[in-house]
Structure 1
Amino acid sequence: MGPNFHLKTLVVAVAAFSVASIGNAAGLDRSGQDITAFLQDGLYAEASYTYIDAKVSGHDNAYIGDDNNGYQQGKKIDDIAESYDFFRYGVKADINDTFSVGILYDEPFGAAADYSGDNNFVAKGDTSATINSVSRGKFANVTEALGAQAFLQGEIDRTTDPELKAALTKQKRDVDIALGATQAELNSKGEGTNVEVRSESITGILGMNFGVNKNFQVYGGPVAQQIQADVKLRGLAYGPATGYTAHLSSGKDYGWLAGLSYSKPEIALKAALTYRSEIDHSIPIHEQYPAVGLEMGSSIDITTPESVNFDFQTGVNPTTLATAKVRYVPWSDFNIVPPLYTAVSKAKYPDGLPLVSYDDDQWVVELGLAKRLTPALAVTGNIGWDSGAGNPVTSLGPIEGYYSAGLGAKYNVTENWAVSAGGKYLWFGDAEGKTPTQDIVSNFEDNDGYILGVKVSYQAQ
């Protein structure tokens, strides 16, 4: 008979890898929606904390003209990535040898970016620069724009030709918006672009073991999720939208989870495939759009994306465990479409513009090894890759995925209690930042970050 790979003997668990397994990933992905706490043997409980610190800096775009892709390196953009942290909790218990139940809490989606300094993402109150930028070089200063405004209004009043009147009215509207944006830039002088997104999720899971040796398990359950956000667009980079502000209040809605797992304890093999559904949110939102003098409260529909996670582990020898994680999220289907912002954009873009959207789907792959050094101590190492969600990408999160390398350790304080700690270094992919109008407004290169995590766990078999 081959060697026994029982996890109890190895003193290692997949959970030791998930301390700092995901963070600052594509789109708004944060926790990776890990369910490995539910996959543990016997009675299991954990509480973990993850801290993310990233450096994301670059240059704004000094180009002024009609080419959306035109780029000329401009002023330095200092680090926009705010440090970020989140918690995860999980409890799982066996009712009998067939049924198991669990409750998981995590913070699956989020963002934290803050622009400062002297660049096109900070309102400088320079009226000449604003009117020149927003009008794409048509007006050098406010005086010229006011002259054009008066001239167009006079022509509108004089003409009796409906088609000419409509064309002149459209031209005047563009001048009006440019002048409104100039005033908004002046009023918000010194303020920088800022975004913060927070979410919380509680998942209830019921699992049922089946098969001759109870090696298979199907599981599923409801998911309750809430999300809130604050967005401030400031500076010349956003053209007429400079000064736009939105607050999305917390709203709770529901989805579901389902999965299938297989285990073979004699070689410490576990494999699980988990699907999470989309969750449709209807959230109160308050918007201000100073360039057009509008402010309103309404509601916004946001659908957080579905996802598929694959978790795998197997014993290599009696003291070594290999692991793999794969995650897929279709971020290309996700967008944020605030009612007022989109309605104003229809003046130039008939279909309207989303505030945030992504071009590509996300893939994450992590491979790891765990090694027992003593009966109570095990160490882990892993490498990872995140595909990102497209390039160019929204200027509110300008990175294109990452490569990562991490180390961790798990120490069994007693037979049942353990402490795990880990860290990961991230090499971010270079990315160009774009606005909803698809204009290239920045370029970010050579950025990195790190993740630290700690976990306390209890297990009784």
Structure 2
Amino acid sequence: MRANFHLKTLTVAVATLSVISVANAAGLDRSGQDITAFLQDGTYAEAVYTYIDADVTGKDTSGNKIDDIAESYDFFRYGVKTDVNDTFSVGILYDEPFGAAADYSGDNNFVGAPTDAVNNIIASRLGDRGVTDVQGLRDLVEGAQGQISASESRLNQAREQVRQAQAAVSQNPALEPVLRPQINAGLAGIAAGETQLAAGQAQLNQLEQLEDFADGRLANTEGTKVEVRSESITGILGAKFGSNKEFQVYGGPVAQRVKADVRLRGSAYGPATGYTAHISPDTDYGYIAGISYSKPEIALKAALTYRSEIKHDAKAFEVFPIATAAGATAGLALPTTRYADIEINTPESVNLDFQTGINPTTLATAKVRWVPWSDFAIVPSLYNDVSKVSTQDDKGLALVSYDDDQWQVELGLAKRLTPALAVSGNIGWDSGAGNPVTSLGPIEGYYSAGLGAKYNVTENWAISAGGKYLWFGDAEGQIPSKTIVSDFESNDGFVLGVKVSYQAQ
């Protein structure tokens, strides 16, 4: 016999729509770090699949069109919990809490050759000689090569004259008094010429190295790209208390793994164009803690959950073609590659989950989330060292940082239509993490609206599905120096979710 669809289980119909974050809507938030699986009654398990497709287009400061940079992505979330007895509960949750996926293409300042940046570097090195661009550098190299060739020719002629004079003296010693002054003068001239030639060759080598660097940068046809991935496993132990066991405290350890790849290309990044970083996977640990309250007779549940910051001490391999040139300008010895430690602290967060019955067939829900992205930064060491040269201070720049904290709010209603079927709808708002914001994720929050449904297939098994439409806030993209490099307007996206769940009480 099919079980009735009780009011207190209507929340399952809404949970499939609880993907209240989208990549870079605020910081790197993705999953919303939902824990509602642990708050279900009895033994409960779920598997959730989420697919997100965003359309993020704009223009660079030159007026060039920027095609969609937001790569579609998907992720899974799993959860299982059970009641050990009427006091203690245990659970394990898996999700992918933080991430980013942006890829620039087309004809704009985030793709290809950084002509302006290369010309600026040439001007800083050779401006006192009237050379301010690549063509001027090529002309200078060609002229220097001609001078070296002419000097070598003159030296060869001088060597031949000295050789002939020495041969004549060898054959006829009587010529010694006449030819010796000429031979000595010739040898002195050859020595001076060789010194001048060596100095000229050293200068030519430096010019040719700068030309090779410029040619390498100008031959670059790649686009800016970023990919950040994370995985998290949370173990939770809960203990109920109160006269009716209406309160519960819970907490446990969190294991989190992160990795990232960043590639900066195009003239928008100026001297930083060509920078590449690979942050190797790293696993570190934090914790979760919370308290909940329930009143089953009116389907009321409220939970306040805190997740700690997690400090990752990872390894980063950086490639920065301009590093040596920048270091030379400041009298520093900076390499073009570096493999070193990097500290990345994924932020703490607070989630509030609330639901209550309105009438015997209707449930109201609310979710609120806070994440202090203003405290977050990614600061690779080589990038930071080079930026100290351009900013002329001891602090330098972070590769990624945000100005504001993130707030998310979602309100929903669920309605039971039949004993086996319920539908839900919700609206949401995300504050974003500031505007202007990093060009690697140029969205200032969003508004959303969603619909979903849950169907009880059997007494214990159910399937839920839902979708959301998202209106992204307009944003200006900036590089770490706070220079505005792009403008993104009138963008949107959608989210689709499917959940399979099992519950036994």
TM-score (norm 2): 0.79
Give the Cα separation in 1 of the matches to 2:280 and 2:305. Answer: 30
Cα offset for 1:12? Answer: 3.8
* Alignment of 1:284 onto 2:290: no
Give the Cα separation in 2 of the matches to 1:277 and 1:176. Answer: 53
The aligned counterpart of 1:296 is 338
The aligned counterpart of 2:76 is 87
The aligned counterpart of 1:202 is 233
Change (3 A) 1:410 1:147: same
Give the Cα separation in 2 of the matches to 1:133 and 1:417. Answer: 65
Cα offset for 1:144? Answer: 4.3
Cα offset for 1:142? Answer: 1.7
- 1:78 corresponds, among 37, 59, 67, to 67
CA RMSD of aligned residues (A): 2.4
Q: Deviations over 1:108-139 (max 9, x none)?
A: 000000000000000137x4x44356789987
Q: Deviations over 1:226-279 (max 9, x none)?
A: 000110000000001111101111100000000000000000000000000000
How many residue pairs are counted as aligned between the two chains? 417
Change (3 A) 1:57 1:266: same
- 2:133 corresponds, among 126, 141, 155, to 141
SS of 1:238's equivalent in the other structure is: helix
Cα offset for 1:299? Answer: 1.6
Amino acid at match of 1:218: V
The aligned counterpart of 1:113 is 102
- 2:459 corresponds, among 408, 415, 435, to 415
Change (3 A) 1:15 1:286: farther
- 1:336 corresponds, among 369, 375, 378, to 378
Amino acid at match of 1:346: K
Q: Deviations over 1:193-213 (max 9, x none)?
A: 000000000000000000000
Give the Cα separation in 2 of the matches to 1:124 and 1:246. Answer: 19
Higher mean Cα deviation, 426-435 or 348-357?
A: 348-357
* Alignment of 1:19 onto 2:16: yes
Higher mean Cα deviation, 404-413 or 132-141?
A: 132-141
Equivalent residues of 2:290, 2:304 under 8 A apart: yes
Give the Cα separation in 2 of the matches to 1:450 and 1:304. Answer: 26
Matching of residues 20-419 of structure 1 within 5 Å: 20-21=17-18, 22-24=20-22, 25-62=25-62, 74-124=63-113, 127=115, 129-132=116-119, 141-144=133-136, 182-187=214-219, 189-293=220-324, 294-349=336-391, 350=393, 351-419=395-463
Give the Cα separation in 2 of the matches to 1:178 and 1:446. Answer: 43
Higher mean Cα deviation, 82-91 or 136-145?
A: 136-145
Higher mean Cα deviation, 339-348 or 425-434?
A: 339-348
Equivalent residues of 1:278, 1:305 under 8 A apart: yes
Equivalent residues of 2:254, 2:287 under 8 A apart: yes
Give the Cα separation in 2 of the matches to 1:398 and 1:324. Answer: 27
Amino acid at match of 2:102: A
Equivalent residues of 1:192, 1:234 under 8 A apart: yes
Change (3 A) 1:180 1:448: farther
* Alignment of 1:445 onto 2:477: no
Give the Cα separation in 2 of the matches to 1:148 and 1:338. Answer: 36
Equivalent residues of 1:23, 1:451 under 8 A apart: no
Amino acid at match of 1:398: P
Equivalent residues of 2:120, 2:133 under 8 A apart: no
Give the Cα separation in 2 of the matches to 1:177 and 1:371. Answer: 71
Amino acid at match of 1:360: D
- 2:7 corresponds, among 5, 10, 13, to 10
SS of 2:468's equivalent in the other structure is: strand
Q: Deviations over 1:79-129 (max 9, x none)?
A: 00000111000001000000000000000000000000000000137x4x4
Amino acid at match of 1:446: S
Change (3 A) 1:61 1:208: same
Give ranges in structure 1 of 5+ residues lacking alignment. 1-5, 63-73, 150-174
The percentage of aligned residue pairs carrying the same residue is 71
Equivalent residues of 1:231, 1:247 under 8 A apart: yes
The structure whose residues are more often helix, as a share, is 2
Change (3 A) 1:178 1:451: farther
Change (3 A) 1:290 1:411: same
Amino acid at match of 1:10: L
SS of 1:384's equivalent in the other structure is: strand
Cα offset for 1:17? Answer: 2.1
Equivalent residues of 2:291, 2:304 under 8 A apart: yes
Give the Cα separation in 1 of the matches to 2:426 and 2:386. Answer: 47
Give ranges in structure 2 of 5+ residues lacking alignment. 142-206, 325-335
The structure whose residues are more often strand, as a share, is 1
CA radius of gyration, larger in: 2
